[in-house]
Structure 1
């Protein structure tokens, strides 16, 4: 049901308090399904046969003042044609009401081939990211003749480490996010010092032997500070025509209560996308399935990308490893 004005005010206070309490370096949404795995897993930097430049923009609850927004720009690639080392870079701007954070993340990754006979692709990958984050709390909107407007800034560093294993159509990732404790001088004293988030994902790609290519997958997050578990269940479909590939995905996300009593939530996210030669476009709509929601407008996100420095395909692997089109 849609909230009344009073419920809306109460919901805003609770939501923004909860969001600040659980603030991480970079929020995890469904944009990893738009061939943007590197946003979550540092071991995905330069993992495929092309460098990837990606841009995403997310708007939650359209029409609601000060609703959360997020923009990211990311680039990842190998250092060269004949090297197994790779790099990645992410810039992001995350704004939620009076609180915002800007960050820059740099990644080093190494990919170790495990199969040399050319019959299938097998690789073990490792990645390490360091992130610098600047937080800002803008309370000018609360200021009046009696209360001075306040803008507070603080910054801190954090790090992620991850590993990945691929074999043929099978893919798997394990990442520990926010390895370091946050600075004690936080904008909000309720923010926990330990923001570790353990993320595991796996999937399998059923390739060109079928009329439609299918890729079921799942991802599980375990937040150490709250004990909360979040699970994604996904299915993605592909169909290729000459130099154009259409694809669609459906993701279901739900949470389970943690030690702090955080309520469960459920989301459904249909995603559509188009790859044309080296270009990529995607649109994601996320709808909350809970009984009480802030708005019926849902969450909207677009993704744009281009593949760079494309090399020849590897033998049979997932789309994240093999770019669809060569030579364009």
Structure 2
């Protein structure tokens, strides 16, 4: 039985690594679907803004588990002038005894092919007008990883001291950089970002498995997003989109299929949506005499409302498959506020 539980734990850990991408910077969840593509793509800082956009997100996994993974983010981006955008992201990602805290600063350069309608008062899909814009962005920041060993037992069952346990809160810091490009049109958008270009963490785990060489390209992730907005003669609009991401270090790849529906109001809009994440990777497990394979699958319904300058969104992610961890899924709440400076 002990061997079985070890295999089960390894299997669950594999799938969680697909979800968090190994704490290599800000994890890729469905935050971007809550009107915040800037979290993934630095080139989106200040796009379609004539003011400041503030978003706060809290995500909690497996409410029935102690020290379950959780993530908090705060992002602020603004349009500095007709061709420049700025942004900042602060986040804290915790998973049991491991945690990472990051701070990122962003500059984006925007090339407007339609100067007359390059910026809008509201970060609202229904106000895109005749926007036709190519953008380039760069984010530079720092990340601090920590491993809290203050409650670890230094001695094994034979009374021998484990030299790998320090009983302190170990931490290490490093710099990181993302670069990306975006094209936003009245109806469609496309984004491409390379993440973790300078990412090279120090080893704080005391295990050769984590002793990566300082190859700055090993941790690069590729993130691409595409979407199209269909308008109708009614207050409803529909936005199908996809997102692809891959990791060079782990060779993992996943694809998001998304569909959102918007309902335009006099003072804002409502949206509902559904996201389905499918990984290209899987793990094998034994069920009785049969050896089976399961890939990572995540279903996320989304609800949100934008009323005047306030934004609220909630989504619930649930893992599909025979083997899952915890009785519940992943809850995420986003709060936002738009500061309009020029109206």
Q: Quickly name the TM-score band, shorter chain normalised.
A: 0.7 to 0.9
Which residue number in structure 1 is paired with residue 37 of structure 2? 37
Q: What residue is the counterpart of 2:329 in the other structure?
A: 298
| Conserved? CA contact 2:171–2:204, under 8 Å | no
Residue matched to 1:270: 301
TM-aligned CA deviation for residue 304 of structure 1: 0.2
Instruction: Provide the aligned length of Structure 1 versus Structure 2.
Output: 306
How far apart are 1:78 and its partner, in Å? 1.2
* 8 Å CA contact retained: 1:46, 1:88: yes
User: 1:141 aligns to what SS in structure 2?
Assistant: coil
Q: Which residue is equivalent to 1:130?
A: 140
Q: Distance in 2 between matches of 1:66 and 1:256?
A: 28
| 1:138-161 deviation line (CA, Å, top 9, x unaligned) | 122322566552321101111000
The corresponding residue for 2:191 is: 173
Q: Which residue of 2 aligns with 1:28?
A: 28
| Deviation of 1:203 (Å) | 0.3
Shift of 1:190: 3.2
2:209 aligns to what? 190
Report Cα offsets for 1:135-187 as digits up to 9, x if no partner.
10012232256655232110111100000011221101000000124044454
Task: Determine if the alignment matches structure 1 residue 283 to structure 2 residue 314.
Answer: yes
Q: Does the Cα contact within 8 Å between 2:173 and 2:202 map onto a contact in 1?
A: no
Summarize the alignment of residues 147-296 of structure 1 with structure 2, pairs less than 5 Å apart: 147=161, 149-187=167-205, 189-191=208-210, 192=212, 194-207=218-231, 209-257=233-281, 264-296=295-327
Q: What's the counterpart of residue 115 of structure 1?
A: 114
The match for 1:103 is: 102
Q: Deviations over 1:13-40 (max 9, x none)?
A: 6655864983211001001000011110
TM-score by length of 1: 0.85
Secondary structure of the structure 2 residue equivalent to 1:43: helix
Which SS does the other structure have where 2:209 is aligned? coil
Shift of residue 264, structure 1, vs aligned partner: 2.3
Residue range with higher mean Cα deviation, 265-274 or 222-231: 222-231
Mark the CA change 1:212 to 1:300 in structure 2 (over 3 Å): closer, same or farther. same
Instruction: Compute the TM-score of the two structures, normalised by the length of structure 2.
Output: 0.81
Gaps of 5+ in 2: 118-128, 284-292
Between the aligned partners of 1:180 and 1:165, the Cα distance in structure 2 is: 25
Deviation at 1:133, TM superposition (A): 0.5
Helix, strand or coil: the match of 2:327?
A: coil
- Give 1:25-104 correspondences, 5 Å limit: 25-49=25-49, 50-80=51-81, 83-104=82-103
C-alpha deviation, 1:125, in angstroms: 0.1
Rate the CA distance shift 1:131–1:12 in 2: closer, same or farther, 3 A: farther
Q: Give CA-to-partner distance per residue, 1:252-282, whole Å, 9 cap, x none.
A: 00101289xx962000000101111010000
Q: Give the aligned partner of residue 126 of structure 2.
A: none
Q: Which has the higher contact order (CA 8 A, sep 6+)?
A: 1
Aligned partners of 1:144, 1:196: CA distance in 2, in Å? 36
- On the 8 A contact 2:114/2:131 being kept in 1, the answer is yes
Distance, in Å, in 2 between the alignment partners of 1:195 and 1:23 is 11
Q: Distance in 2 between matches of 1:176 and 1:291?
A: 34
Alignment match, 2:120:
none
Q: For the Cα contact (< 8 Å) 1:229–1:258, is it kept in 2?
A: no
RMSD after superposition: 2.8
Question: Is residue 228–residue 258 contact of structure 1 (8 Å, CA) maintained in 2?
Answer: no
The SS at the match of 2:295 is coil
